[in-house]
């Protein structure tokens, strides 16, 4: 990027962000813990949806030490509803390390912690410690692709690196925190995937996509990942208002969550008989429920139905219990 263009883009973005930034709870300070939690929650989730979950989580775990001391089940319970539960497990693991070693201040060091990918590491290092590194998420990929008119395969390492370099260049200033937040804000509120508000954009006069009628085409669409069909048979045993559960090790999804004893396999077509359908990322799951009486069971594997969300917070578990209750009725 030409130095003059970078300076102009930076100045226009800063002026726009300082006037238009939203009042969000994690922007009230530069605390690395609160910024970290918000950035992880915002993955795969909108700001509007995250705010109540964030406030509940921070109220329960106000600092990294309280999070580190908590049990995994307590953390998962506070995370319930946000999905992608591996994120919660990773922040719990990282909290234990940070509480004893301190919070790393450089993106390169943060990257070594569980759950800290390139984006989260750079976001925390910049927003909390003012390290001059640029962030690259879906919003930033979109605005940079459009303003430069780049038809890049951004999901491939080589092309993604090109966009990362552009982001780093824009953030190479003492105002890097505002630049990074400005790019994220611009992508979230103005330069949206569909029907962007181009007239409100601080970069509208420089946007190559706008000049060349490429807004609808950029960024390029990532090829869709081929989906998988799974047939999951569950043996449900409920007795005295308790259900028997085991750690799920039979599927590549929802692993290690507690479910009824089961067996599963990938299939080529939709099963003829099933009781429930559930979807997780690329997986379409057809669940068949069998009510059984266990011949042998472990005492520690029985869980109270009234507090089931403490041990399994997934929406699938709710569906299983609802199906069981409907059949009983």
- The pair of three-digit structure tokens given for residue 227, joined into one six-digit string: 């989906």
Q: What is the DSSP letter of 289?
A: E
Instruction: Give me the catalytic one of 7, 8, 12, 39.
Output: 39
CA gap 20, 99 in Å, rounded: 35
Q: CA distances (Å), 67 to each of 10, 98, 194, in order?
A: 37, 10, 38
* 239, burial (CB in 10 Å: exposed 0-12, middle 13-18, buried 19+): exposed
Looking at the DSSP bridge assignments, the partners of residue 233 are 263, 288
Could you confirm whether 7 is annotated as catalytic? no
Strand ordering across the sheet containing 238-239: 238-239, 242-244, 302-304
Question: Would you say 235 and 229 are in contact if contact means Cβ atoms under 8 Å apart?
Answer: no
CA gap 228, 54 in Å, rounded: 32
- The pair of three-digit structure tokens given for residue 119, joined into one six-digit string: 């984006």
Whether the upstream peptide bond of residue 219 has omega within 30° of 0, thus cis, is: yes
- The pair of three-digit structure tokens given for residue 33, joined into one six-digit string: 């813990």
Question: Would you say 243 and 308 are in contact if contact means Cβ atoms under 8 Å apart?
Answer: yes
CA gap 260, 114 in Å, rounded: 29
* Torsions phi, psi for 321 (to 5 deg): -70, -40
Active site residues: 39
């Amino acid at each position: 990027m030409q130095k003059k263009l970078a300076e102009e883009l930076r100045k226009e973005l800063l002026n726009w962000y300082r006037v238009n930034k939203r009042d969000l709870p994690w922007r009230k300070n530069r605390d690395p813990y609160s910024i970290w939690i918000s950035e992880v929650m915002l993955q795969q989730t909108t700001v509007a949806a995250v705010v109540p979950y964030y406030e509940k989580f921070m109220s329960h775990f106000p600092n990294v030490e309280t999070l580190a001391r908590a049990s995994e089940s307590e953390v998962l319970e506070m995370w319930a509803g946000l999905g992608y539960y591996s994120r919660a497990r990773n922040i719990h693991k990282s909290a234990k390390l940070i509480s004893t070693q301190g919070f790393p201040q450089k993106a390169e060091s943060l990257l070594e912690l569980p759950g800290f990918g390139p984006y989260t590491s750079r976001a925390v290092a910049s927003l909390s410690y003012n390290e001059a590194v640029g962030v690259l998420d879906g919003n930033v990929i979109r605005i940079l692709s459009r303003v430069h008119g780049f038809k890049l395969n951004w999901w491939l390492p080589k092309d993604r690196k090109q966009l990362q370099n552009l982001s780093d260049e824009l953030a190479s200033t003492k105002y890097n925190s505002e630049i990074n937040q400005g790019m994220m804000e611009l992508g979230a509120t103005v330069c949206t995937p569909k029907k962007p508000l181009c007239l409100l954009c601080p970069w509208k006069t420089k946007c190559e996509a706008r000049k060349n009628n490429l807004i609808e085409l950029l960024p390029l669409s990532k090829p869709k990942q081929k989906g998988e069909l799974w047939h999951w048979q569950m043996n449900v045993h409920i007795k005295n208002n308790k259900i028997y559960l085991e750690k799920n090790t039979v599927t590549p999804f929802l692993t290690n969550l507690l479910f009824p004893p089961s067996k599963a396999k990938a299939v080529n077509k939709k099963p003829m008989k099933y009781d429930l359908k559930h979807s997780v990322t690329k997986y379409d799951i057809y669940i068949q429920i069998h009510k059984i009486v266990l011949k042998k069971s472990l005492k520690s594997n029985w869980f109270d139905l009234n507090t089931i969300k403490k041990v399994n917070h997934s929406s699938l578990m709710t569906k299983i219990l609802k199906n069981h209750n409907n059949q009983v009725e």
